[in-house]
Structure 1
């Protein structure tokens, strides 16, 4: 396959899904990662895609906010890996908060196994996952104006969070950057995320490796405010070192879940 044909495949994938991973393209096109990096580099120079960690993404402005459905199809294995690692930070009987986002919805699914939780969230999708009559779990959903990413934000959300104190916050982000910190394309969501952080004794950011280097319109916290960053093992060694110098603790989750020993003779 010629270079321009490969690049058309990459563009089609980015247009359809908002982004594509090099690992997926290797299997699909049968060429090396180095070849695909060159193709993505060429498309990036032409302004057709944005070069991101591990692949390519649609070119967008810092104020562009992808919808929940578009994001839910991207890096699902990495998000599940992050969720499996993050849930270990929630103790039985704890009070936890979850922000909106596809990764926090994955965390919510894992939290169903933790008994007697009190949950505060500005995400209707998180609330739906965790609401289960008879479970012993209390779910508090803030009000607010709904964003494209299905977050409830604004003054009503802030009023619902005022005066609350939770043990741990699981916070999803649009992007994180060494200089810009934690960012979002939505100004109201930036304020609501700050309010969520102010409620929490411990802030746990859950973000797969593709979020590194992504910068949205509004910064709402520096990396130094993050107690624990949980990401996946596609993060490069250099990036791991750089992030570990800024956050309180870096947890790198294996993308492949541990196998049951009984599966092996």
Structure 2
């Protein structure tokens, strides 16, 4: 890739990262992009109309005509760094021609951020925040499970939406969770997410759980799976040792 193209790709990834928070530390972004802080400083010095560097943090400049960044209603903004790193790790699994289900939640959009624009793939989703991210990928064919829109968790629900999934063969299911417990399994907050999660877990060739360390040893209202239902768990380095051992015992591969 030519140097200018690499710089443009870096700047685009920074802008996508800033859709989920108001600022990101220069050191963190440099590590995520595998470049030096000086390289990013040079990039930003020539892109001052849109991005700026303040006190070691990269921020986005808004003009009066630019629509506000999209925010998931009641979004949990904690552990953003961990979620972004999880997204970067998970995105590497997607290959050209794959069909991938992207679950709802606040971690999944970070996966989309790190999918190269040139990659051709099919995405299946059932939430608005993920759909908006996928729409930025020019070579992504999108299949949406439509229906009634639930504002709280940004999910589309329909009694026939799982019928859409009947006709789709998934290479990957990227599934999010709000709680992972050795005793009570994998859970989420909302019952309206359960049917689709279970459906894609049955139909996907490869099943991947996205969960930062704060989700472990936590139980939420709606149960939908066990650790044994996943072949991969993508988390961060703060995951408790007891759960590292539990994931290994379940036969899944831990990616951190």
TM-score band w.r.t. shorter chain: 0.5 to 0.7
Distance in 1, Cα, partners of 2:198 & 2:118:
26
Residue from 85, 92, 96 that aligns with 1:88: 92
Higher relative contact order (CA 8 A, sep 6+): 1
What residue in structure 1 maps to residue 168 of structure 2? 164
What residue in structure 1 maps to residue 230 of structure 2? 226
CA deviations on 1:87-109 (whole Å, 9 max, x unpaired) are 11111221111010110011111
Residue from 145, 148, 152 that aligns with 2:148: 145
CA deviations on 1:129-166 (whole Å, 9 max, x unpaired) are 11147x22201111133331112234132122122111
How far off its partner does 1:167 sit?
0.3
| Unaligned 5+ runs, structure 1 | 1-66, 253-265
Structure with the largest fraction of helix: 1
Would you say the 8 A contact 2:102–2:108 is kept in 1?
yes
CA deviations on 1:57-96 (whole Å, 9 max, x unpaired) are xxxxxxxxxx944334111000001111111111122111
What residue in structure 1 maps to residue 139 of structure 2? 136
CA deviations on 1:210-242 (whole Å, 9 max, x unpaired) are 000221222111110111000001113333122
Partner SS state of residue 176, structure 1: strand
CA deviations on 1:158-192 (whole Å, 9 max, x unpaired) are 12212211100111111111122111222221112
Partner SS state of residue 166, structure 1: coil
Would you say the 8 A contact 1:105–1:126 is kept in 2?
yes
Would you say the 8 A contact 1:154–1:192 is kept in 2?
no
| Unaligned 5+ runs, structure 2 | 1-70
Distance 1:107 1:242, change over 3 A: same
Distance 1:132 1:77, change over 3 A: closer
Distance in 2, Cα, partners of 1:171 & 1:138:
19
What residue in structure 1 maps to residue 183 of structure 2? 179
CA deviations on 1:10-56 (whole Å, 9 max, x unpaired) are xxxxxxxxxxxxxxxxxxxxxxxxxxxxxxxxxxxxxxxxxxxxxxx
Partner SS state of residue 74, structure 2: helix
Would you say the 8 A contact 2:179–2:220 is kept in 1?
yes
Would you say the 8 A contact 1:178–1:243 is kept in 2?
no
